Structure 1
Amino acid sequence: MGGLAIGTGEFAAMGLLPSMADSFDISVSEAGYGVIAYAFGVVIGGPFLAVLTAHLPRQRVLIGLLAIVLAGNLATALAPEMICWLTARFISGIPHGTYYGIASLVAASMVPKGQRASAIGQVMLGLAVANLLGVPFSTWLGQVAGWETTFLVISVIALVTLALTFYFIPFVAGDSTATPIKELGVLKQADVWATLLVATIGFAGMFSLYSYITPSLQNLTGMAESTVPWMLMAWGAGMVIGNIVGGKCADRAMVPSLYGILIWNALFLAAFAFFATDIWSSVILLFLIGCGFALVPALQSRLMDVASNAQSLGATLNHSAFNLSNALGAWLGGIALSVGFGWESPAIVGAVLAAIGIPVFALSLVLARREG
């Protein structure tokens, strides 16, 4: 439920960019700043909250984070002008990384180490389901009832999740030995930074396309705007499959799995740019690109390995990196569009970014051996 609320709140904005652009009388590429604002909320808020709350009981932390999710999405729905909207998007992103990081730690503590990536994948399944069901529904709802309605519904989901967390998540102690200095000590490790760079660059390719998916599909295939929510279900279905398979593969062979996922993403993002010219080829390619979400549980588990002495901050930093990739992808995709490269250009930018992630991952392995 937490993944559904947070994931829908994050990705629904991308599917509703044209509607929000019309509402504030700005261009679609300018509306992309809302995506960037959310991402920077994650990047800045995640590490800050992780350091401050590492010693607190996990359930209380999750409840506090969900309260911020509720407030941020409610403020988004009620924003009277663009600056208020951007501020609300930033606030909405603040709890994102810490929520997934803490939830991942709780899940990982419940299983043997050899099943950790799979357990993390189950936590992230909420985010995948958000893209399978939550985002298509919210995009449709935003088109027929106004984008503000979408964020009001997300606020209700966050409220329900808060109540469920209070009643059903058991007491899980925080790290009683955690201190800000101890947590921040992980930032001295070069292999941690390299792993974060893999997430930032390697996953930015997916966001380069996803940030502008509605206008890209409309212009490349000629489909009506009302068809886009159903197309997004193909992406979401791929994310669900990738999330499950990625976790299992990472448990069995972490390094080969990460190489394979990065190559997969580069290939199918490039394929979208050249072959997504009709609805059926777009459906297939969106599903295959969505499968690249397998990178998330794999890298989450990898980062927990290299950040062993600062689990809260390490688990959270992964999501800060993924949302920095969100901002990077949206920014570079927007640049490609603004200079007139065409609606296939975000996918091309995405393929290049995913390909760059491959040598960056190789560098992270070298650094990890030296740190070890």
Structure 2
Amino acid sequence: MTSAPDLRAYLRTLDAETLAELILEEAARDARLRRELELRALAQGKVGPVLDTLQRLLDSGTQADLTPLARRMVDGLEGASGAELRRALGLYARACASHPPDPVRLADWILGVAFNRPDWSGIDLTAFAGALGEPGLAHLRSIVDRVRTERAGKRRDIARRLAEQIAEITGDVETLLAILATKPPTPEVNLRIIRVLRAAGRHGEAIAHAARTIVPADRPRAGVLALRRAEFRRNPCAATYSALRAAAEPVGRWPDEQAAALELLTAREPAEAIPVYRLHVEELIERKDSACYREAALALRELRGLHRRADTADEFTEYLAELVETHKRKTRLLVELRNARIAMPRRRAATIGA
């Protein structure tokens, strides 16, 4: 009969890391043992070493479910330093990513920490996004949106911060921009808005916002014009075209800048030029001058060519029909369109020369 192995002797041969993993695996199954280990660690003030062990186990890719242990570690951190709190939260988030708990319960726990632990500086939802998933994030949003309607107070401020993170995680650009717009327009906030717009592919709006907010008001106009010109050349679109015009007109440079801008556009992809040419046409029509009507008709010919090059001739026909309908009382404009040999929409052709 084989005698039982000497477990004590065997355990003494193990390195500290292996032994710690065995104990933690058993603690994951035994709630009493888990709580006893946590109380001993906290009572001895050895938060750091326990967190070190937890991190090493996570780094090693252990298959053990460390989520309950990491959660209890966070919940038991009373009077710990801010660095220890942040580290414990980060490790708990990593454990949740490996073994996600119920997403709604996790969301409720996060809300409890955010609203009821004033000693904590905040919680990073991004780290928990994967574990929360759509159900957890939706539950978070429903509670946060309700708290945001409360009267001014600390809870509402916390809810706004959480709503900002939720919008960023879910890609809700409009909500994120609306929240940022309520903040004081500091350089940091303006840069954040610009980054959000760029990430959403709204480069024209990003450049226009930068033009309005980043350039100091006391910068010489020539310097502003040079900046607007460079922005337009980097990203030619309606927004940067309007910003260029706003900088050039006060110094009497718009005719030259406009000619150069339109020349640049015609040499680039038609899709980039079309929105700007439309804006150019509408600006000319707004001046209500015969010479401007003539120039608008010539610009429409250029626009028609751009649409043909872009293989979007039908879009030009629709645009022209809307334009004629909007300005149907401007008889002189219609005459100039005829003189420019622009085929008129059939329902409007009879009005020319009336």
Interval of TM-score (by shorter of Structure 1 and Structure 2): under 0.3
Q: Highest CA radius of gyration, 1 or 2?
A: 2
| Structure with greater proportional helix content | 1
TM-score for the superposition, normalised by structure 2 = 0.25
